[in-house]
Amino acid sequence: MDNCLLFDNDGTLVDSEYLCNIGLVLMFRRYGIVLDADELVIRFRGWKLSSLLSILEKENGLDLPGDFVQEYRTIVSGLFNKELRPVEGVIEALEALDAPKAVVSSGPIEKIKHTLGLCGLSKYFGDNLYSSYEVGIWKPDPGIYLHAAKGMGYSVENCIVIDDGPVGVKAGTEAGMTTFFFNRFEEQCNIEGVVSFTTMDELPGLVKNTRDLQHQQS
């Protein structure tokens, strides 16, 4: 049986994480708080939005209004429309990978569809889109990847996770899946068995090697 490829979205398929955090910088500026977008990317990528906002509230002594998230998402959507691009090399990698593919994201389903559409990636995934908001499970909980595997009709042994965030990598490994860490910032990863790579042109070869190894062991 072929492998099923489960891709994170933000930072793995679409180069959205910096833009998302620019949105936070702009929103918090209203309260006289100066945040650094690059620092936020490193610190919070892959996190549940409400969790990171709770931390930023406490650190800055704020009580954010109820319409904060809606306004934030409106700002980010506008930034996406103007500036969002696919991650470098990801289209070529997707073209080279003939296995079934799905997107497994901590973002809302509307955001997933919007970003994939803007970047010309929708055709690679069709309706195979899995959002944490639909099941109430966020990375690093492995349940979101287990949910996606079940939806795709694959056992965990035949799933490969591709994720750029430490929380996503942890979720993939705890789900019992082969996990590739798209290590864009060349960070240390101490999770046993995780394969790190830094450019998308490496991915097809990694998938092939995994498939060959599994065939030898079967």
Greatest Cα pair distance, the chain, in angstroms, is 60
Q: Which of 8, 15, 141, 164 is catalytic?
A: 8
Supply the DSSP symbol for 123.
G
Angle at 157 between CA 154 and CA 160, to 5 degrees: 80
Which strands sit side by side in the sheet containing 101-105, from one edge to the other?
129-131, 101-105, 4-7, 159-163, 178-182, 195-197
State the Cα–Cα distance between residues 119 and 94, nearest whole angstrom. 13
Minimal CA–CA distance to 117: which of 189, 13, 7, 5? 13
Is 8 tagged catalytic? yes
Active site residues: 8
